[in-house]
Amino acid sequence: MPKTIRMPTVEEIKAAYTGSGARAASEYSKAIDKVTDFVGRATSDAAEANYSAGVTRAVANRLRAKGISEKVTNESWKSDARTKGGAIIGTRIAGAGDKQAKGYAPIHTALSGLELPDKTPGDPIGNLTRIAGRVVAASANVKRRKLGLPEVTPPG
């Protein structure tokens, strides 16, 4: 006698999925605790090659664009962003103060006491370029030094 696959209904599957949320947080935490050497594995040559290949394939096949256009509308995105993101953003920002301060500290140091040139009367575009350019260069060079890249030269 042939066997037949007996599937739960779509509604039963949906109910099981949405009902699993309470367990998901503890299972997620348990899974994180089992991970070893995340940074080493994630920054390995093999990981970089896999990432590059995946991004190249996705771009070549327009997978991002297709995924968005097939699954999302402007209104569904706005609704999800409001209800999901809006509900947690304040708490997440409040809890990230130490990380933000640590990340911004080198930029703060680079900008504190940065000497800016005097303005040239009648040269608003040149003034913007010279003054903002020095600020942008000082900020960008913090990251470039960290990454071992050559520094950008500030204008004028």
pLDDT digits (tens, 9 = 90+) for 93-151: 888 989 999 999 999 999 998 999 999 999 999 999 999 999 999 999 999 999 999 99
Q: Specify whether the CB–CB gap between 85 and 109 falls below 8 A.
A: no
Residue 1 lies in a domain: no
pTM: 0.58
- Domain boundaries, position 128: 113-156
Q: Are 16 and 8 in contact (CB under 8 A)?
A: yes
Does 66 share its domain with 119?
no
- Helices H, strands E: what count in the chain? 9, 0
Structure tokens of 18? 């949405």
Please give the Cα distance from 31 to 38 (Å, whole number). Answer: 12
Q: What is the pLDDT of residues 53-68, one digit of tens each?
A: 999 999 999 999 999 9
Query: Is residue 3, in this structure, part of any structural domain at all?
Result: no
- Of 71, 89, 124, which residue constitutes the final position of a domain? 71
Q: Which of 94, 115, 104, 89 is nearest to 139 (CA)?
A: 104
Query: How far is the C-alpha of 13 from the C-alpha of 20, rounded, in Å?
Result: 11
Domain membership of residue 152 (yes or no) is yes
93 vs 99: CA distance, rounded Å:
10
Q: Into how many domains does the chain fold?
A: 2
Same domain, 67 and 117: no
Is 87 domain-assigned?
no
